[in-house]
Structure 1
Amino acid sequence: MFPPDDLEPADGIIVLTGGKARLDVAIELLQNKKGQRLLISGVHPTTNKKALQRVTIANEALLNCCIDLDRSALNTIGNATESAQWIRSHNYKRVIVVTNNYHIPRSILELSRLMDDVEFIPYPVVNSDLRHTNWVIQGDVLRVLVTEYIKYLGALFHLTELSVFGGPA
């Protein structure tokens, strides 16, 4: 999964933390007017905007006007919950979601489960191109992919279980 070439502007942008590359990609999208505001979800509780400015490409003006921090999300479900509140508070209907390419399917699934009336546009960040390497024998890569796949199946099962038993889907 690779980023779209012809990305139309959305109402907002959400980035799920986990690496500097994700943050810089999301900030660049904001700078290029691909969204009105950016939510950085899953920020460490002690991190402030000054610290983010030191480690990202964001300038002070952009941080102060258009970037919001979610410090409470601890996992993907928390990211989705906090993001849904942020989306509702701004009445957004179209949101770009920035995270690692292997994390996109589960992130979109969790967000869509909470907000089926919002269009989520995946914007995967590719940290390494696995097409030209033997990733099967790379323990760390294989572990991450298998773990993420198992988590995705769990999220999918949870969604299906809610739908079958009449709960909110």
Structure 2
Amino acid sequence: MISRLVSLLLLTYLLGFVIFAFTLGKPAPTNAATTDAAVVLTGGSGRIEHGADVLHDGKARRLLIAGADPSVTKADLARRLKGDGKILQCCVDLGSESVDTRSNAEEASRWLTQHKFHSLRLITSDWHMRRARYEFERVLGAKYSLVTDAVRTEPSFLTLFGEYNKYVLRRIAVWADI
């Protein structure tokens, strides 16, 4: 009986991983609503560049780069993006308070409240979107309209497996109130 239960749990876990791997986050549709703000979570290639494109294309009015290293400046960003420094000065904020996905959501919540925004576009890698959305929805509740906008990547098996485990463990921790 115990071996059957363990087998069932293992099969459920493995099936969950397969579903997770085949249903990664997707880019926002081209006709997605314009939002007050966009929040980019640092840590993956193409995220900041995509956030800058969203801002340039008028799909959001202001951009928070959450989890930025405290030593990074807007001048560093301008060199990296090779773009218009004016838009960086007026419309981009560097958040350096957060160190993980949960604290990214908390930092973004304070920023959204400070600017009296009502909607946001969440930008992160496709493999990270499920957990990021979960954390943002937990912190923000229904106060904000949320558009997810995943940056497409080609994650390795180890990246997917690690992210799946983080997601499952976080869900268990919330469920167990740990």
TM-score, structure 2 length as denominator? 0.79
Q: Which amino acid in 2 is paired with 1:3?
A: P
Structure 2 counterpart of 1:123, from 133, 149, 161? 149
In 2, Cα distance between the equivalents of 1:21 and 1:57?
14
Rounded to whole Å, the distance in 2 between the matches of 1:8 and 1:55 is 28
Question: Aligned partner of 1:4: which letter?
Answer: A
Between Structure 1 and Structure 2, how many residues are aligned? Answer: 152
Partner of 2:58: 33
Question: 1:147 and 1:57 mapped to 2: Cα distance?
Answer: 33
Larger Rg belongs to: 2
SS at match of 1:152: helix
Q: Distance in 2 between matches of 1:159 and 1:43?
A: 26
Could you say what secondary structure the match of 2:135 adopts? helix
TM superposition shift of 1:56: 1.3
Aligned to 1:138: none
Shift of 1:118: 1.6
The farther-off stretch of 84-93 and 23-32 is 84-93
Q: 2:150 is aligned with what amino acid? A: P
Q: In the alignment, residue 2 of structure 1 is paired with which amino acid?
A: K
Equivalent residue runs for 1:16-27 within 5 Å: 16-27=41-52
**Unmatched 5+ residue regions in structure 2?**
1-24
Q: Which gives a bigger RCO, structure 1 or 2 (Cα 8 Å, sep 6+)?
A: 2
Stretches of 4+ moved more than 6 A in 1?
Answer: none
Change beyond 3 A, Cα 1:81–1:146: same
Query: For 1:151, which of 166, 173, 177 is the aligned residue?
Result: 166
RMSD: 1.7
Measured after TM superposition, the shift of residue 147 of structure 1 is 0.8
Match of 1:45 among 50, 70, 73: 70
Query: What is the TM-score of this pair, normalised by structure 1?
Result: 0.83
How far apart are 1:42 and its partner, in Å?
0.9
Q: For residues 31 and 106 of structure 1, do their structure 2 counterparts lie closer, same or farther at Cα, with a shift above 3 Å needed?
A: same
| Worse-matched range after superposition: 107-116 or 14-23 | 14-23
Q: Secondary structure at the match of 1:37?
A: strand
